[in-house]
Structure 1
Amino acid sequence: MKPTSTSPGSRALAASLREVRVARGKGLRELARMVRILPQLLSAWEKGQRVPQPEDVARLLGALRVDDLTYDRMMRLARHARDDNWLDSNPSDLPPALNGIVEYERTATRITNWYHAIVPGLLQTPDYARAILSNSEIGLEQADSMLVVRLNRQRILTRPDPVRLTALIGEIAIRDEIGSPDIMSDQVDHLLQMMALPNISLRIVPANIGYHPGLIGSFILYEFPGLPAIVHLENSHATAFLHEAEVVGDYAKQAKILSRKALGEDDTRALLREVAR
């Protein structure tokens, strides 16, 4: 069965439904019986093959006896599951935005990202990630939770069938000190180690090369087998997931422009070794 919706929200909702059911220790058939629906329908919802109505999600959450916080964020996701483009204006909550990111990373075959001023999350060391999170406008408890999630996400790069990652990084990201000199040295060493993996292409876009579209902001492009690509944009107060073909195509063009301006991999290694000294 093909998905009835390929929107970012619908795919994140499917992942969240599975996650909540498993966390509550309920089997698929058991939960379907509790809410009096066919197991095949619940399975289709959890696979993203069909999109449940908000009232259907409310019945599932009621049967699972979830807490108020989980109920509110799941219902917010359910109400926007069919939106072509999904904007989450409260990204400090782990879900639903982060839940969507985890699902996109898990199911993508290729990820292309451009980060102008910081190292991408998938390539961050624990100390570097912690330095960023602990200096963000979030509590320490939430920073700890986000760090665990971030490090778990990195497994997609080393699993048996790894995601292919193209990382385009601004030179400022490796020269600006985040945390301490030791943290930055370890981070740069880590980038060199990750470049040795056959599924990772990492290239530095030099500073002081004049204007290019990457100066406007960072972005991540997720590509999937048999499904439309998704672009992820994020700033300090909002997270957007863009799905329209024309918009995604514009960001794919930006990635090509940045790729032409980036150093080759050998020159990138040489620059990283220079910075690490």
Structure 2
Amino acid sequence: MPRKAPGARERGIGAELRKIREATGQSVTAVAASLGWSKSLLSNLENGKRNIEPEEVASLLAVYGITDSRRDDLIGRARAADEPGWWERTLPGVPTESGTLASYEAEASALLDWTPALIPGLLQTMDYSRAYMLSDGIDPSDVEVRLMARLRRQQVLSGPVQYTAIIGEAALRTPFGGRAVMADQLRSVVRIADAQNVTIHVVPECIPHAGLIGAFMVIRFPVARPVAHVELLRTAMFLDRDEATPYGDAVARLRAVSMGATESTQLIATVAEEMRADGGVA
């Protein structure tokens, strides 16, 4: 059976192995030679470009003299990598990029999400999300399965990940599904903002900033380098290394022009009440 494509978990394991190797002062060339491997094989393992077997992890840790709890943890994680998450099971109508994003989110320590004109996907109610998908021209037969995938993605917020959403004010006032649906959506955002691992900021309208170019998410991991997820029309792209750096810088600039967390949730609640009144919601 061919190996499955490497993903976020492999990036994390590889980064930790690289960190351990560097701490021992050994070079890639020397370690690869001691194991009879090619230099490129070890480099690919460390950079998450190749799926890694538990036996390979054990061999590397033996060379590095690691016998403490890190050994069991890393070998266990490599073994668990063979167990597919829901995102690795093909769902008709769900883009491959959505599964890749879910795999990164599942391994992340922090998610920094910027959306200038929409409520972020991880915060969307099903009614709001459905209305947006239909307005975007997605085949109605694909909408429900995409909603299922989105609901599964949202479960990541129940874990330890630190999630920061920076939302353009225009997103609060664009009522996909109508004003009643939007009122429910905004009230849901306010409720989610109460979680200790969730922080929400709003960027006021009419403030010039580089984020106006489009939505993106910076995904940070415990050890591996950050990845930027950049949204495109009907697809997305993932950037890492130097290509991801400008997006991390953009997050800092967006925070500088955004409202504080308390002020932001107060504004969201106020707009929700406006939508509720106009939409006739009880």
**TM tier relative to shorter chain:** 0.5 to 0.7
Per-residue CA deviation, residues 257-276 of structure 1 (Å, 9 max, x unaligned), is 00010001121122112201
Residues 1:223 and 2:226 aligned together: no
Rounded to whole Å, the distance in 2 between the matches of 1:108 and 1:185 is 30
Structure 1 gap segments, 5+ residues each: 15-42, 49-68, 74-91
Code of the aligned partner of 1:275: V
Rounded to whole Å, the distance in 1 between the matches of 2:173 and 2:110 is 27
Residues 133 and 143, structure 1, Cα contact 8 Å, conserved in 2: yes
Counterpart for residue 164 of structure 1: 162
Residues 1:254 and 2:246 aligned together: no
The alignment's C-alpha RMSD in Å is 2.8
Counterpart for residue 205 of structure 1: 203
1:202 aligned counterpart, secondary structure: strand
1:240 aligned counterpart, secondary structure: strand
Q: TM-score, normalised by structure 1?
A: 0.67
Per-residue CA deviation, residues 82-109 of structure 1 (Å, 9 max, x unaligned), is xxxxxxxxxx952421111110111101
Residues 1:47 and 2:81 aligned together: yes
Distance 1:117 1:10, change over 3 A: farther
Q: Which has the larger radius of gyration?
A: 2
Rounded to whole Å, the distance in 2 between the matches of 1:228 and 1:171 is 30
Percent identity reads 30
Rounded to whole Å, the distance in 1 between the matches of 2:195 and 2:119 is 17
Residues 1:270 and 2:266 aligned together: yes
Code of the aligned partner of 1:207: E
Deviation of the 1:46 alpha carbon: 7.2
Counterpart for residue 113 of structure 1: 113
Structure 2 gap segments, 5+ residues each: 1-9, 15-44, 54-76, 83-88, 274-282
Rounded to whole Å, the distance in 1 between the matches of 2:227 and 2:97 is 13
Distance 1:195 1:237, change over 3 A: closer
Deviation of the 1:45 alpha carbon: 8.9
**What does 1:228-247 align with in structure 2 at a 5 Å threshold?**
228-244=225-241, 246-247=242-243
Counterpart for residue 83 of structure 1: none
Residues 133 and 147, structure 1, Cα contact 8 Å, conserved in 2: no
How many residue pairs match? The answer is 204
Deviation of the 1:147 alpha carbon: 0.3
Rounded to whole Å, the distance in 2 between the matches of 1:276 and 1:93 is 32
Counterpart for residue 184 of structure 2: 186
Per-residue CA deviation, residues 14-56 of structure 1 (Å, 9 max, x unaligned), is 9xxxxxxxxxxxxxxxxxxxxxxxxxxxx959738xxxxxxxx
